[in-house]
Chains A and B, each alone.
Chain A
């Protein structure tokens, strides 16, 4: 239901104050409680589910498939797909979610992690479904994907291949995998997936985990891609029809700083769910 003019004005003013005042009493960097679980889909290589307080829910499954590549190719093969219940296929929101995550993972994932032999690589398929969403689902999807990737394991080559790794074998060998799933290697043993964080800008303030109403009265949105302890990408996102497309340098750098802090906290929390 759209907000009335009075409601809109009230929310806008209280959010623009310094320090701001959110209607649910949270501070700028505070998330609402989430319910997260990993490894919920037994047939996938890795999976996760996150439920938000407002009823938003997302499930992500990661599948790894063996592909042949031409020699020396370093392409990181990742495909991200996401269904949003209630929206038609190829909706702008779906495209934004998939394209952002796909790009973020491709840029962050070193190709050696997907290497099986010189000729064979894993291709990663990230498939998500957003069962319900009230607020913008980008952060939800990114967090679930992050958790699913943390949970992801790739089958290891059977022992007979590991010992004598000569070149000729790589040239023609068809990989044979160890049949014990417990042998499979964690994708994130020495690597962290990227995390995409959407913040909304109201006046000079930036908020994470905005509710639907907060987005409705915002000036616009900014997303940051967090990877390896720093922000590696920024992009402006429309949060409503009259959303601003241009921000001043100072508000962007302010936002990046805020979102970086939020990302650091979330990463820590998500990593705590999966114990290595």
Chain B
């Protein structure tokens, strides 16, 4: 029974060949002892191009290839240490990942396995970033598996802590590399590069010096590099432990992991994502399973260092602390203006002003009789997962001390993030003066209980505030849009012929197999003007039996983008094309998007067609799908199409077909409405830009023509038909889209507002009831009111989402807004990845090709869905933010009076929506006069009565029409040029 392999037991005579790692894994309350054993090898290479020995016999992988050697024979050199390979300790990865990623320095780095493993235990995101660095060719990071190599493996000593063992392993590896490289260059006349150990651990440095290892701490090293000032700013700030005095106020400590896990299991604590109210930075909410409404988290102390988007664990507060949501606009900037970032010792976490604001609200909660408004409140007791990312913002000028401009010493400044839901971030920088007025990217490092603000560090500047490039990049970064160029690997997936690609002329060739020749059909496309990525085209013709044949033809993207290729992976990760006012961030390379896939007129293109036979009453007799080849006869803009249809003199077949389409689409639309589809509205404006400079010229409200809805109706019909087909073929893995019915509680407030202010009733038991009651909300004196209500109703809805059919039951598939039991996206594969998946599934469902295994893989599809849902949302936000920016630019240095509507009433101001520009903004009472005019806020009647100066009383109610002066200012808190509204007198009531 002797264990033969346990050779290290008698390690005196023989070298070690096996190493053993023993640890306890603690999961779900269980303690498992885990033993890992691995054989020690002698063939793990040093990967230096200087070394002749290691390259003789490098280890090979299963396909018989070995990795190329990474470390350069001519590594970078600095003054004090000469040419060197860097060996960073784990603490360097923790502190300086941004530096390591920087292009200016840190090449030829030996990443030790010991440090890599330690890093993984400490921080998974950092680990992933380091892994990405080791994969990239240009930075030359080499992972040396020191624990698997015989010479560098260290056995744990009696009484040695794991940390000490790891430090020793790192030193051991340094020594080995030194000796090994000396041997490698012996006799060649070259000198071996220095092995430079980089560590901020004093003990490790001391011991390394004793061993004769060349080593240094981070700062002295960075000071020798080019761009040292920038690089130094990028070091992660260490929290000064023990600096807090006993009297100092601090945030409550988080509960221990064990208590949190237990609490969640027992249902005493709840987990969810924290959302900060954009109008009130002191109010957050967390949606928790089991509660109809989100739980409120009020005040800095309760929010307890959690940030917008973090997954937090909350505990309910006692009933007497329950409150109603805020009726005030509270901006962080206004309340915390005078904070000094250098001043760390004096700060109280909660300022008196903030307390006052809270107490005021508490009083209102008690005086309010409206029972449904009082909501349970909770406090954050732990954070499961931080949603920290890089934040774009600008330096708060008032936080930069005046004397810093001359002295270049390190100082603390505040970064004000563009996103109002993110608190100020304290940065330490040597270049404060240079950073003023710039858009800056920064990362959050930590938030200690004793620090009022999170600590972060500078990453890079994007450019001057309000320049187009900086602002565009800022919003792409803010919404996590992947805007980098397509890599060579992706471009390699494109057809070799490039723009010269043609549909093969030989109709018996392999590419024609299974394709119908529909080139003779009178197909045309109708899109917005200047549309280049034409996804869809249509045709209609009458059949001898009196019925009509209607076809929707979609670009055949899945022919060019095959599963499991680099291009497919890239498209899946981008998820969607992002449309900005002056820019488009494509999901697919431009060759496909605007040429080969795009259903351009007068050329033959591959398409995927859905063809219906319909009766004149738009009853579907028969549906079929086929891959096809089409030649579009014309590409219309909506306006051109409308003109052509309306032009009585045109009687050609194409025009007739379009008239048929229009007639049928109207019937389809009516049927949909009868079924209870909602006609929702969102404020949509368009920015006209000058074609050369793309400077904004004019803002106009988007016009909708009949032809818009013509295209829309047939796309909906196609999507619904395809959804049913792929669900039938793949009940477990079909890519579908659902829109869950909103919980009735979402409409409570709006319904009450309508009842009180307008005497209108809003019912929301079914989508039909909602649609009908929305139709009835008409005030003859206020033609815009109905649209306004629709906009507000839209905001009460849940977001539609992609999902994989196997994860839901059939009743949950329903699309609430469209009143369709099943729905998917199929009609825009050039710009949405979901459509590409649907295309592949449909192709398999009609037995055109075999389904790729990845499209049957439910967990993988779920991941895809999750990603594209997120990307889709972000793309919308980015698009809106872009419009907002351009509206601001277009209105720059102009003052316009416009009509607006009161959308929300607070006790110290109100929000006005201006349809002409699609903008909404707050009007604070404090801006109406100094001192702030006295006011009387009737919460139950949604009215605010105030007296401006000596004028008589002004009474404002929700939904009131007002005239506002629209101008733009650079908002102090976010550095964005924003539309600012001022109340004009007299009010139009």
Chain A residues within CB distance 8 Å of chain B: 40, 42-45, 49, 57, 59, 64-66, 68, 120, 131, 155, 158, 160-161, 168-169, 171-182, 184
Contact = CB atoms under 8 A, between A and B. Distances in A.
B263 interface: yes
Contacts of B261: 173-174, 176
Interface in B255-302: 256-259, 261-263, 265-266, 268
Contacts of A40: 3
13 contacts: A40-B3, A42-B20, A42-B35, A44-B33, A65-B30, A131-B1, A158-B258, A160-B258, A173-B259, A174-B262, A176-B257, A180-B162, A181-B24
B28 interface: yes
Contacts of A155: 24, 26, 31, 33
A174 B33 contact: no
Given A59-B1, A169-B259, A180-B162, A42 B26 contact: no
Contacts of A59: 1
Nearest to B28: A174
Nearest to B255: A169
Contact of A66 (B23, B29, B34, B35): B29
Contacts of B22: 42, 181
B31 A172 contact: no
A169 B258 contact: yes
B25 interface: yes
Interface string B21-62: 011111011110111000000000000000000000000000
A173 B262 contact: yes
Contacts of B3: 40
A110 B258 CA distance: 25
Contacts of B156: 182
**4 closest pairs, A vs B, by CB?**
A172-B262, A177-B26, A173-B258, A155-B31
Nearest to A120: B29
Contact of B33 (A43, A49, A160): A43
Interface string B7-29: 00000000000001011111011
Contact of A181 (B23, B28, B29, B265): B23
Contacts of A68: 29
A171 B31 CA distance: 19
Interface string B327-366: 0000000000000000000000000000000000000000
A37 B34 CA distance: 21
B267 to A, nearest CB: 10
A57 B1 CA distance: 10
A96 B619 CA distance: 83
Contacts of B28: 174
Contact of B26 (A49, A131, A168, A179): A179
A175 B32 CA distance: 12
Contacts of A171: 262
Consensus secondary structure, chain B interface: mixed
A176 B34 CA distance: 15
A176 B33 contact: no
Contacts of B26: 155, 158, 175-179
B263 A172 contact: yes
A68 B161 CA distance: 31
Nearest to B256: A160
B259 A172 contact: yes
Most buried by B among A59, A68, A176, A184: A176
A49 B1 contact: yes
Interface in B688-713: none
Contacts of B20: 42
A158 B23 CA distance: 13
A184 B25 CA distance: 12
**Of B25, B31, B161, which is in contact with the most chain A CB atoms at under 10 Å from its CB?**
B31
Given A43-B33, A160-B256, A177-B31, 13 more contacts: A42-B35, A57-B1, A59-B1, A65-B30, A158-B258, A160-B258, A169-B259, A172-B259, A173-B256, A176-B256, A177-B26, A180-B23, A182-B156
A174 B265 contact: yes
A120 B458 CA distance: 46
Interface string B938-968: 0000000000000000000000000000000
Nearest to A172: B262
A238 to B, nearest CB: 30
Nearest to B267: A172
Nearest to B23: A179
A172 B33 contact: no
A2 to B, nearest CB: 31
A59 B3 CA distance: 13
A179 B256 CA distance: 16
A160 B24 contact: no
Contacts of B34: 43
B320 to A, nearest CB: 21
Nearest to B265: A174
A120 B261 CA distance: 14
B35 A175 contact: no
Contacts of B258: 158, 160-161, 169, 173-176
Nearest to B37: A42
B256 A161 contact: yes
Nearest to A180: B162
A169 B259 CA distance: 6
Given A43-B35, A44-B33, A177-B31, A172 B23 contact: no
Contacts of A181: 22-24, 33
A179 B266 contact: no
Contacts of A174: 28-29, 258, 261-262, 265
Contacts of B31: 64, 66, 155, 175, 177
Contacts of A66: 29-31
Contacts of A131: 1
A66 B26 CA distance: 10
Contacts of A42: 20, 22, 35
A172 B262 CA distance: 5
A123 to B, nearest CB: 11
Nearest to A166: B259
Nearest to A178: B24
Contacts of B268: 172
Nearest to B22: A181
A64 to B, nearest CB: 8
Nearest to A51: B1
Contacts of B256: 160-161, 169, 173, 176
A57 B29 CA distance: 36
Contacts of A184: 24
A176 B382 CA distance: 16
A175 B26 CA distance: 8
B271 to A, nearest CB: 14
A179 B33 contact: no
B258 to A, nearest CB: 4
A59 B26 CA distance: 27
B381 to A, nearest CB: 12
A44 to B, nearest CB: 7
A52 to B, nearest CB: 14
A13 B356 CA distance: 101
A132 B3 CA distance: 19
A222 B25 CA distance: 44
Nearest to B262: A172
A76 to B, nearest CB: 18
A63 to B, nearest CB: 9
B30 to A, nearest CB: 5
A172 B30 CA distance: 15
A64 B256 CA distance: 24
A11 to B, nearest CB: 33
Contacts of A43: 33-35
A201 to B, nearest CB: 34
Nearest to A65: B30
Contacts of B162: 180, 182
A179 B1 contact: no
Nearest to A168: B259
Nearest to A183: B24
B41 to A, nearest CB: 21
B120 to A, nearest CB: 13
